[in-house]
Amino acid sequence: MKALGVVVVVVCLLLLVALAMSIRIVKQYEDGVLFRLGRVIGERAPGLRLIIPFVDVLHRISLRIVTMPIQSQGIITRDNVSVDVSAVAYFKVVDAVKSVVAIENVKAAIDQIAQTTLRKVVGQHTLDETLSETDKINLDIRAILDVTTIEWGVQVTLVELKDIQLPETMKRAMARQAEAEREKRAKIIAAEGESLAAAALGDASDTMMAHPLALQLRNLQTLVELGVDKNTTVVFPAPLMSTIAELGTFLAREGAAAIEPPPQPPIAVPKPAAAVANGTPVSGSAT
C-alpha cells in the first residue's frame, strides 16, 4: 500500500509538471509560432494556448514597433567632406514566421544593414544636400531597407537622421558664410528703406508745392514739437520756398540795376548878356 501511494503521488506530480509545461500565454501584442518536432505547424493568436511538452516549442514574437539607434558613422560626402552621421530606425514584425525562420537575429541584422545603407546613401550627396535634404535621405534609406527586410518579415516604418557632426574648420567656414549672408540681407533691407524714404519725401514735397498751406501747417507742427522740450531758444522756421523766391527776386533786381547806364548830369545853358532892369531878359538884335 505504501508503494502504491508513492506511485500515485509521483504520477500526480508528473501530471502537474506536464500540465505546467503545456500551458503557454501569448500576450495581446505578440504572435506565437508553434514548432512541432522541428517543423512549423502554424501561428497562435493571443490568449491561453496548450502545447505538447517535449514535442512542441512555441516562440512568442513581439509585433510592437521597435526603436533602434544607428550608431554614428564616419562618412565622406560626394564633395569629399568627412562627417559623422547618426540616425534612428523604427521597425516592426509583420510576418512572425519569417522573422523566426528566415533569419537568426533580426534586430542585429537590421542594425548592420542600416549602418551600411546610411553610409551608402549619405555618400551619394554633397554636404549641402545632406544638411538641407534630410527628408529625401530618410526616404531613400527606408526604401533600400524595406527591400531587404521585407524578406525577413520585418517592415521599416521610419528612418530619421539624428545628428550630423561637422569638422571644426567646416563649422567656422559655415559660420562666416552665414554672417556674410546676414550682412548682405541687412544692407539690402537698409537700401530698400532708404529708397522708400526718398520716395515718400518726394511725394511730400510735391504735396507741399501744390498746397502751400500744408507747408505752413508743417511749420506749426515743428513749433509744437520744439515746444515740448525745455529749450531756452525758440527757432521759427521760415517757409523755404518763399525765401528762395525772395532771394531770386533780389538777385534779378540787382542784375537789372547793374546793366542800366548811370543817369547823366544836366548841361548848364549860358545866360544872355543884357537884361532889363526888372530882370526880364531882352532878346533880339540891334537895328
Name the 3-class secondary structure at 136: helix
**Cα-based distances in Å from 117 to 138, 141, 148, 152:** 11, 6, 11, 17
Give the CA dihedral 172, 70, 75, 181, nearest 10 degrees: -30
pLDDT at 277 over 50: no
Instruction: Assign a CATH topology to domain 65-166.
Output: Tetrahydropterin Synthase; Chain A (3.30.479)
Which residue in the block uniquely carries the three cell numbers 522756421?
Answer: 237
Domain ranges of the chain: 18-62, 65-166, 169-209
User: Computed over its alpha carbons, how large is the radius of gyration of the chain?
Assistant: 54
Q: Enumerate residues 6+ apart whose C-beta is below 8 A from 86.
A: 69, 70, 71, 72, 73, 161, 162, 163
Give the CA dihedral 167, 172, 176, 181, nearest 10 degrees: 40
Q: What is the pLDDT of residues 62-95, one digit of tens each?
A: 999 999 998 888 888 888 888 889 999 999 999 9
What is the 8-class DSSP label of residue 122? H
**Its pTM surpasses 0.75:** no
Q: What is the pLDDT of residues 117-137, one digit of tens each?
A: 998 998 888 888 888 888 899
**Which residues, listed in sequence order, are joined to residue 269 by a DSSP beta bridge?**
none
Query: What DSSP assignment string belongs to 142-182?
Result: HHHHHHHHGGGTEEEEEEEEEEEE--HHHHHHHHHHHHHHH
Q: What is the pLDDT of residues 158-213, one digit of tens each?
A: 999 988 888 787 778 777 878 888 888 888 998 888 888 888 878 777 776 776 66
Name the 3-class secondary structure at 42: strand
